[in-house]
Structure 1
Amino acid sequence: MTTDHLLDRFRAALAPLEPLALWAHGSLAGGDYREGRSDLDLIAVLPGPVRPVTAWRVAVVHQSLRAEPLAGGLHCSYLTPATAADPARGHLTWAHGGLTRRPVTPVTRRELHTFGRVLAGAAPTGLLPPVTDAELAAFVVADQRDYWRPALDDARLWTRDIWIDLGLITHARAAVTLREGRLITKREALAELLALGAPPEAVEDVRLRRYGGGTASAPMAGEAWRERRAGLVCGWLGRSVDRLVAAYG
């Protein structure tokens, strides 16, 4: 199944909920999407309100796609016109095979306004308030200071690929956003990490996992490598986050 076919099936399954809009953000919208490796990050706007029966119907939609190979990476948050304005508010979200609640962050909102891909219905400009530069910068600093910096104290987390990938890429993107006021792709973030002085082995590890190929002289795998990688990343990232927060916080 191709990504486009999965999106067609999702749109059709969602139609009985009468969405006002369906948007893509993240890699799919930004031009850095890798089929089978990237998540499908979506936002749906429903007429509202979102009641328990709505949540049940949303779950049925996603469960109907569960046998499809790419469906595990399809994540979607559900807004309504009445709930869209508050960037701190949690919204019904399907992610990683279940329902949860997540905010639609200022970074996501800026992505949607800058390069969001309209899959159905109205454009983000008509339904989602814009994000000011000050709001975006304040969120990025707080995210680095209050979420990522404390997480570095738990070394066990950083033996997992997902933490390495997200922690490093999010930090590089934060640095560029604060310095230049723009959003960058994950591929651009890898070059930025090297410019920031991140451990080259760890950056190559992320690149190989996301894009394949490469020039690594030995396989980056096994418990010994994961433990070493965690030490390299936690040591460097802690110092780099502290510098970023001191400069912009």
Structure 2
Amino acid sequence: MQPTDALLDRFLAGLAPLHPVAVWAHGSLAGGDYQEGRSDLDLIAVLPALTPRTVWRLATLHARLRAEPLSGQLHCTYLTPSADMDRRHLTWAHEELFKRPVTPVTRRELHAFGRVLHGKPPKDLLPPVSDRELADFVVRDQRDFWRPAVDNAPLWTRDVWVDLGLVTFARATVTLREGRLISKREALELLPGLGAPVEVVADIRGRRYGDPAPAVENRAALTRTYLGPAIDELVAAYG
């Protein structure tokens, strides 16, 4: 059994005593672009209730999973059937519990290609996401999160910021132009045509798909120089 399947099996077994209504995968794991050992395992679990005792049991479950390969990449947000999508929800990610929203992008992914690991499908429990709601969120995300981040130079010395900054911009561009979601692989294929620095795109692709490219010493500066004006132009066109 592959490490991903083994981890999911143990997670679902550990969750069973809490009687989950549904467990879904989204992101790369559902969309067909999952790379074992590199991609996160993005999950949503719907539980009958989230009492203090339930939260304690979830923390205990995730602590026990730490011995499993890939456990650090398992991220799960916990909802109840009546959850308000405008609120932040209990989430296990980066090996800790905190709260974050289930974004319109995540909800659209779940409706479009969510993978049901247990129980009811997303359409039975999650409200649909209109094209307008999706577009408004994407513009806000680029304008209010990513554009200020571009000006914070130290962030971009880390792989995750370079990778997600460029990939998220390409995905945002396609969503706003065409109203559809694309995978990270598709985003990387599109980025050179959007004017992104080709050597940085090759670096990201190499690390994600195991085909290393030559190191790019000035990739932070190249990425920031490209993304700032590119985001400004996108927001001006669709904001």
Please give the TM-score of this superposition, normalised by the length of structure 2. 0.97
Structure-to-structure mapping, 1:125-164, within 5 angstroms: 125-164=123-162
Counterpart of 1:190 in structure 2 is: 188
Counterpart of 2:10 in structure 1 is: 9
Cα shift at 1:52: 2.1
What amino acid is the match of 1:78?
Y
Within 2, Cα distance between the matches of 1:209 and 1:116?
26
Within 1, Cα distance between the matches of 2:211 and 2:97?
35
> How far does the alpha carbon of each residue in 1:1-40 deviate from its partner, in whole angstroms, 9 at most, with x for none?
5211111110000001111000000000000000111000
What amino acid is the match of 2:68?
E
Counterpart of 2:55 in structure 1 is: 55
Cα shift at 1:199: 0.4
Within 2, Cα distance between the matches of 1:54 and 1:174?
36
Within 2, Cα distance between the matches of 1:171 and 1:177?
10
Contiguous gaps of at least 5 residues in structure 2: none
| Pair 1:237-2:227 in alignment | yes
Counterpart of 1:25 in structure 2 is: 26
> How far does the alpha carbon of each residue in 1:104-155 deviate from its partner, in whole angstroms, 9 at most, with x for none?
0000000000000000000000000010000000000000000000011110
What amino acid is the match of 1:52?
P
Work out the number of aligned pairs and report it.
238
Counterpart of 1:44 in structure 2 is: 45
Within 1, Cα distance between the matches of 2:221 and 2:161?
13
> How far does the alpha carbon of each residue in 1:28-75 deviate from its partner, in whole angstroms, 9 at most, with x for none?
000000011100000000001x22222111111111110111111000
Counterpart of 1:104 in structure 2 is: 102
SS in 2 for 1:64: helix
Indicate the RMSD between aligned Cα atoms, in angstroms: 1.0
Counterpart of 1:199 in structure 2 is: 197
Within 2, Cα distance between the matches of 1:58 and 1:164?
32
Cα shift at 1:91: 0.4
Is the CA contact 2:77–2:90 (under 8 Å) kept in the aligned structure 1? Answer: yes
Within 1, Cα distance between the matches of 2:52 and 2:228?
41
What amino acid is the match of 2:177?
R
SS in 2 for 1:100: strand
> How far does the alpha carbon of each residue in 1:184-224 deviate from its partner, in whole angstroms, 9 at most, with x for none?
0000000111110000011011101100225x3x3x16xxx
Residue of 171, 174, 177 corresponding to 2:172: 174
Within 1, Cα distance between the matches of 2:141 and 2:225?
18
What amino acid is the match of 1:73?
Q
Within 2, Cα distance between the matches of 1:171 and 1:52?
38
Please give the TM-score of this superposition, normalised by the length of structure 1. 0.93
Within 1, Cα distance between the matches of 2:236 and 2:10?
47
What amino acid is the match of 2:78?
Y
Cα shift at 1:175: 0.3
**Identity fraction in percent:** 68
| Pair 1:247-2:237 in alignment | yes
What amino acid is the match of 1:31?
G
Large movers: runs of 4+ above 4 Å: none
Is the CA contact 2:3–2:69 (under 8 Å) kept in the aligned structure 1? Answer: no
SS in 1 for 2:29: helix
What amino acid is the match of 1:120?
H
What amino acid is the match of 1:139?
F
Structure-to-structure mapping, 1:206-225, within 5 angstroms: 206-213=204-211, 216=213, 218=214, 220=215, 225=217
What amino acid is the match of 1:205?
D
Contiguous gaps of at least 5 residues in structure 1: none
